[in-house]
Structure 1
Amino acid sequence: MRTASVLRYGAGALGLALIGIGAWRVAEQRDPLGVLVWLGGALVLHDAILAPLVLAVGLLLVGRSDRGVLRGALVVAGSLVLVTLPLLVRPGEPPNPSALPLPYGRNLVLVLAAVAVVAAAVILVRRRRRRPQRGTGDG
């Protein structure tokens, strides 16, 4: 058997084992239906909103010379939102008071603004460097 086949079957077996563990963990919850509804909502959110939004932004960036910087900024911003969003939308008080000691909403906006400023600065510097320099003739 070739190495690629062994790796493929190994990855498939690992995936099936993880699916089994996940199903077992969902089944032992007090409210497995609530967990399944949450997972279904996450799937709909991804497939109906996030994926088309990412594709639309990708179409808007086609042909731009600064698309790499914009893509990087969008990946960083999206990652920041994905990390902080569960803390922001969780209803009620956190079970651990130290879980949210700072105003996460305001701080997220500030960090996203910093990402936008850095991306804009990189784009401006690159455009300025690309611009042909005018010769300062002596006479």
Structure 2
Amino acid sequence: MAFRVRELVAGARGMRERCLAGDSADNPATLYAAVRNGPYRKGFTTEILGGFHGDLHSLGQYIQDGRRNLMETILHVQSSGSALTVPALADGADGLGYLYEKAVAVSGLMLEVNPFDQPGVETYKREMFRLLGKPE
């Protein structure tokens, strides 16, 4: 599969500009993170993003009968009277990917967690260096 890198970057840049413009009430990443924060604090710790065919009932059964720790983001497209295909990267633009990455960072900050720190990785690296006899 080939990606059109310029279009991916342009799509991400467009979402970045939307996220930086105005105040947080108009920022899609901040709004999405804020909406997710309430359910997370109530124990809904696993998020699923879904846009599913109506016949895919096994996932519905999992959501209905499984552990009650899911929060769902369902994409709903109203019928236009004709078939609609939404490719993974619409026209190669990755604004949605940028939105989710930004929302993850904002969510971490809302939970008072540094979203850019990886203490487990650093601990692992120190231990590996020790075992390998290498200086840090």
Structure-1-length-normalised TM-score: 0.28
Higher relative contact order (CA 8 A, sep 6+): 2
Structure-2-length-normalised TM-score: 0.28
**Relative to total residues, which structure has the larger strand share, 1 or 2?**
2
**Relative to total residues, which structure has the larger helix share, 1 or 2?**
1
